[in-house]
A and B are shown apart, each in its own frame.
Chain A
Amino acid sequence: MQKQLNVSAIKDGTVIDHIPTKALFKVVQILKLDQFDNMVTFGNNLDSKVMGTKAIIKIANRYFEDEEVNKIALVAPNAKLNIIRNYEVVEKRVVQIPEQVNGIVRCFNPKCITNAENVYTRFQIINDKPIEMKCYYCEKITYENEIKIK
Chain B
Amino acid sequence: MNKKNLISITDFSKEEYLRIMELSQKFEDNPNQSLLKGKVIATLFFEPSTRTRLSFETAINRLGGKIIGFSDSNSSSVSKGETLHDTIKMVSNYADLIIMRHPLEGSARYAAEVSDVPVINAGDGANQHPSQTLLDMYSIMKTQGRLNDINLFLVGDLKYGRTVHSLLMAMSQFKNPIFNFVAPPELAMPDEYKLYLSNKGIRYFEHLEFNNIINQADIIYMTRVQKERFIDPVEYEKVKNVYILKNEMLENTKPNVKILHPLPRINEIHTNVDGNPKAYYFTQAKNGVYTRMAIISHLLNLL
Contacts and interface: CB of A to CB of B under 8 A. Distances in A.
A28 interface: no
Interface string B120-146: 000011111000000000000000000
Contacts of B102: 113
B109 A137 contact: yes
A114 interface: yes
Interface residues of A, number: 16
A139 B110 CA distance: 12
A117 B111 CA distance: 12
The listed residue with most A CB atoms (<10 A of its CB), out of B83, B107, B124, is B107
A120 to B, nearest CB: 10
A138 B105 CA distance: 5
A143 B83 CA distance: 28
A119 interface: yes
B106 A137 contact: yes
B208 interface: no
Tier of interface size on chain B: 10 to 19
Contacts of A116: 84, 104
B104 A139 contact: no
Contact of A140 (B8, B83, B105, B110): B105
A136 interface: yes
A60 interface: no
A94 interface: no
B103 A111 contact: yes
Given A117-B84, A140-B105, 17 more contacts: A107-B106, A109-B105, A111-B103, A112-B105, A117-B110, A118-B85, A119-B110, A136-B106, A137-B109, A138-B104, A138-B105, A138-B124, A138-B125, A138-B127, A139-B8, A139-B106, A140-B127
Contacts of B109: 113, 136-137
Interface in B265-285: none
A139 B109 CA distance: 10
B154 to A, nearest CB: 20
Contact of A112 (B8, B84, B106): B106
Contacts, number: 51
Contact of B83 (A112, A117, A136): A117
Nearest to A121: B106
A139 B85 contact: no
A137 B110 contact: yes
Interface string A27-47: 000000000000000000000
A101 B107 CA distance: 19
A24 interface: no
Contacts of A111: 103-105, 125-126
A119 B8 CA distance: 19
A139 to B, nearest CB: 6
A113 B84 contact: yes
A112 B103 CA distance: 9
Contacts of A136: 106, 109
B105 A117 contact: no
Interface string B71-110: 0000000000001110000000000000000111111011
Contact of A137 (B83, B85, B105): B105
